[in-house]
Copies of this chain bind each other. A is one copy, B any other.
Amino acid sequence: MVWSGNKNTKKIPDIVIEERLPKYLRALTRMQENGGVERVSSEDLGKALNYSAAQIRKDLSYFGRFGKQGQGYDVKKLVQRLREILGLENKQWNMALVGVGGLGRAIVGYGRFAPQGFKIVAAFDHDPAKVGKKVGTLVVKDMKELGDTIKRENIQIGIVAVPASAAQQVIERLEEAGVKAILNYAPITAPRGKAKIQDIDPVLKLQSMTYYLKQDDQIGKK
């Protein structure tokens, strides 16, 4: 190995992985594509993302030294390095969707997964009325086929788009089938299990914003 290792044994804060590196990547990619920017300083990137320059330098330093003093960072190199770190390089990740209601269908139609290397390769539902029907280009499969399909199609990520009442069970079945990462759109918190879970619930986001709204403005008087 060229650079005598990342001498850095220090613990990387969770939030660096869970939030900031992906945002750095998103912002840098956008700068490349739109502005044709070839170099950024930590200050530039910080301004684009509402972070301090120091924060960005510190975050990147956990993974090596890829800036040049006096110049900043080479955008192309940094993008590539971030992609490697996040496990996005030379890879396509296969995903299975569970739950083909309105939400599930919207997820299949969402245009930003595939270009980023995330492909939905199978869809499941336990409703016999939906099994066999098409969603986009996929034929909906019965839940019985979950385990086999996940192995056969080399699926590493599950997407849960079922009602709250079914979500816990679906997550367990995905974990049993060997899925290691789950994107959960159902409004529940699952017990910690084998898989890494990320939750998406827009209602929670709204409910946190109303805390800040409530003092200055309400509708009751109408």
A17 contacts across to B, CB distance below 8 A: 208, 211-212
- A209-B198 in contact (CB<8A): yes
Q: How far is the CA of A169 from the CA of B23 in the complex (A)?
A: 20
Query: Cα distance A188–B21 when bound, in Å?
Result: 14
Stretch at the interface among A36-44, A64-72, A80-88, A126-134: A80-88
A202 lies within 8 A of B200 (CB): yes
A144 within 8 A of B: no
Whether the Cβ atoms of B50 and A118 lie closer than 8 Å is no
A10 within 8 A of B: no
Number of interface residues of A (CB under 8 A): 72
Would you call A202 and B183 a contact (CB within 8 A)? Answer: yes
Asked if A220 contacts B189 (CB within 8 A), the reply is no
Given contacts A103-B110, A111-B102, contact A118 B3 (CB under 8 A): no
Please give, as numbers and ranges, the residues of chain B lying within 8 Å of A106 by CB-CB distance.
102-103, 106, 109
A145 on the interface (CB 8 Å rule)?
no
> Is there an interface contact between B211 and A116, defined as CB atoms closer than 8 Å?
no
Asked if B219 contacts A206 (CB within 8 A), the reply is no
Task: Report how far A49 CA is from B197 CA in the complex, Å.
Answer: 13
- Residue pair A219, B103 in contact (C-beta under 8 Å): no
B216 touches A180 (CB 8 A): yes
Query: Is B1 in contact with A92, judged by CB distance below 8 angstroms?
Result: no
Which chain B residue shows the least CB distance to A27?
A: B189
